[in-house]
Amino acid sequence: MDKVSIVDVSPRDGLQNEPIWVPTEKKIKLINLLAETGMKQIEATSFVHPKKVPQMADAEEVIQACSSLQDVEITALIPNVKGYERASQFSIHEVNWVTAATETFNQRNIGRSINENFNEFTKIIANKEKTSLKICFSIAVSFGCPYEGEVNPDVVLALVERAVAAGADRIGIADTIGIADPEQTNRLLSRVLEITGELPVSIHLHDTRGLGLTNAYAAFQAGVRIFETAASGIGGCPFAPGAAGNLATEDLVYMFHRMSVDTGINFDRLLDAADYAASLSSKTPLGRIRQVERKK
């Protein structure tokens, strides 16, 4: 039986764009509900400056509360060396370093050029032996950018090659604005996997145009086995105008279970977590299967 890993990012990507403060205890409750589903990896927060993303101002408190979780790998997004230093004070499994495939998005999101950002990345790679933290190198707007339009896949592949050579522990490919189609997804991920070899590769999908699930299937067909999604499909990027929520975790799990692909996740408990995630969002969640199952 095929097996996949799902990383639920709803506590971070799902909530980061919420205009009204989500209390820390509610973020922690969402993480606990996700852990109860059997989810093995959860992206809990982002160590970003609170002026940039006010919703993540309680990163330390959220991460500290995760220390009691058993059999769950907690990850956190970091935008710079300062974020890495903050994250490394805690017992977490992995940090997710983000770059972008276009200069404009990188400047808007991180405030520096792609090369400047990569130079910062090499600094934390040089020090990673001093901690037990794994480092994922994620490439935002890998398929299309809200400022520069279509992205040349060769630019993405060149960044993958550089990150692999530098010593990244995982490569993440993100469709930040939900612009990809299945053929495009399959082509790019097939080429990425040729570069990475045995190194884990994940795909992060937004469902802006309703193609998230088909793109996940296309990535699966290419050989990807790690998927980043958000319970109930909540989310959006503060630096990507028009970007809708993430692919819903429960939609992806439902599809894989129908395909007899092992996710290790209890679907009924996942629906409970998705209901709670939806209650925290100010927008209509994108998840579909939850609405169908709850009407039975």
pLDDT in tens, 48-87: 999 989 999 999 999 999 988 989 999 999 999 999 999 9
pTM given for the model: 0.96
pLDDT tens track for 229-287: 999 999 876 666 666 689 999 999 999 999 999 999 999 999 999 999 999 998 888 88
Task: Name the CA dihedral angle for 228, 286, 18, 8, rounded to a multiple of 10 degrees.
Answer: -20
- Asked if residue 266 lies in contact with residue 249, where contact means CB atoms within 8 angstroms, the answer is no
Q: How many CB atoms lie within 10 A of CB 31?
A: 27
pLDDT tier at 296, thresholds 50, 70, 90: low
Distances 144 to 139, 182, 213, 215, 296 between C-alpha atoms, Å = 11, 14, 18, 14, 38
- Asked if residue 242 lies in contact with residue 146, where contact means CB atoms within 8 angstroms, the answer is yes
- Asked if residue 192 lies in contact with residue 171, where contact means CB atoms within 8 angstroms, the answer is yes
The one catalytic residue in 66, 136, 145, 237 is 237
Domain chopping of the chain, boundaries? 5-294
Closest CA to 14 of 56, 51, 63: 56
Give the architecture (CATH level 2) of 5-294: Alpha-Beta Barrel (3.20)
- Known catalytic residue at 66: no
